[in-house]
Amino acid sequence: MFRIGSHVSTAGGVEKAVDRQVEIKGNCGQLFVGSPRGWKVGEVKKEGADLFKKYCSEKDVGPWIVHGTYLINLATPKEELAEKSVATVQGELDASAELDIPYYTFHPGAHTGEGVEKGLKNIAMRLSQLEIPSSVTLLLENTAGKGTTLGETFSELQTMVEESTYGYDDIGVCLDTCHLFSAGYGFGTDEEISQMIDEIEGTIGIENVRYLHLNDSKHPFGSKKDEHEHIGDGEIGEGPFRTLINHKLFRDLPMVLETPIDEEKDHSWDIQKIRELRDDS
């Protein structure tokens, strides 16, 4: 079954996320387990967790993915920030396990002037400090490449994994379409997507791409800017999304939208747009 959903709020209890997903016609989804701009990981209460699992089963919504707070920076040279980042990632991983959510993703971080090589080593070292629950796969999210952020290329993501004490049994990759486009990866034609897949196969391995974030981009190809737009309304346009979501190596992956919500369009509009672009023949 085609799995498409969006990021939804957990306001009022994590179990509320399931109904919110159903209301917008989604059948998988993403959520935060704390404030996206804070360090505190929300307490997972047993009653709420039990209801979340029950509703997911009854309404066939999943697989879910937890997105980490935006403050995380495993590449930082600052030890205090690194310690906070590792502790928060660990807390969010543990919360994912308590909710029976199989995936957790976050932005690896920025080297802030220390250099790419040092930044990648820091990420690998701090990944190694984590205790990844056996029921959760940690997914590194590719980035747009703004400033000194790392994870713009597949080779950088590969280095993070291979220099850590973990392997691809525990770590995978979540690909964001806006980030791909802004970083200079095209996927609108058969040739472009083949070139991208060849690079993936030579580094992280296509089998280790486990989830997709579907977002159009407000900025041009190769801009290094990360600002999302409604599907088809941005610089990517409808065609590349049609190519990507129908490709045999990507079409069966769960897909989540992180598109804007405004007066005219919400996540339900984007979910419907993706369904229209999907070839189910």
**Number of residues that make up the chain:** 281
Place of tokens 């069966």: 252
Please tell me the predicted confidence (pLDDT) of residue 216: 98
Choosing from 20, 228, 230, 267, which is the catalytic residue?
Answer: 228
Q: How many domains does the chain have?
A: 1
Instruction: Return the CATH number at 142.
Output: 3.20.20.150
Is 53:100 a contact under the CB 8 Å cutoff? yes
Q: What are phi and psi of 262, to 5 degrees?
A: -135, -170
How confident is the model at residue 154, as a pLDDT?
98
Average pLDDT over every residue of 3-14: 97
pLDDT in tens, 106-126: 999 999 999 999 999 999 999
Question: Residue 77 carries which DSSP code?
Answer: S
CA distances from 238 to 97, 187, 269, 280 (A): 36, 11, 14, 17
Neighbours of 32 (CB within 10 A): 23
Reply yes or no on whether 111 is catalytic. no
The mean pLDDT of 232-255, rounded to a whole number, is 98
176 is catalytic: yes
Q: Which of 100, 114, 170, 258 is catalytic?
A: 258
Residue 280: which pLDDT band, with cuts at 50, 70 and 90?
confident
- Can you give 163-188 as a three-state secondary structure string? CCCCCCCCEEEEEEHHHHHHHCCCCC
- Kindly report the pTM of this predicted structure: 0.97
Instruction: Out of 3, 7, 20, 107, pick the active-site residue.
Output: 107
Task: Name the active-site residue from 3, 20, 179, 230.
Answer: 179
Q: Is the peptide bond before 102 cis (omega within 30 degrees of 0)?
A: no
**One-letter amino acid for residue 116 of the chain:** V
- Determine the Cα–Cα distance for residues 113 and 147; give it in Å rounded to an integer: 9
Q: Which two tokens stand for residue 254?
A: 């769960």
Q: What is the pLDDT of residue 124?
A: 98
Residue labelled with tokens 């308590």: 98
Over residues 191-203, mean pLDDT: 98
**What is the per-residue pLDDT across 73-97, written as a single tens digit (0 to 9) for each?**
999 999 999 999 999 999 999 999 9
Reply yes or no on whether 104 is catalytic.
Answer: no
Catalytic position from the list 23, 43, 70, 198: 70
Q: How high does pLDDT run on average in the chain? A: 97
Catalytic status, residue 166: no
Q: What is the mean pLDDT of residues 50-62?
A: 98
Query: Is 179 in the active site?
Result: yes
Token pair of 30 as six digits: 């993403």
At 209, is the secondary structure helix, strand, or coil?
strand
Q: What is the span of the domain harbouring residue 231? A: 4-277
With vertex at residue 107, the alpha carbon angle to CA 191 and CA 192, rounded to the nearest 5 degrees, is 5
Question: 70 an active-site residue?
Answer: yes
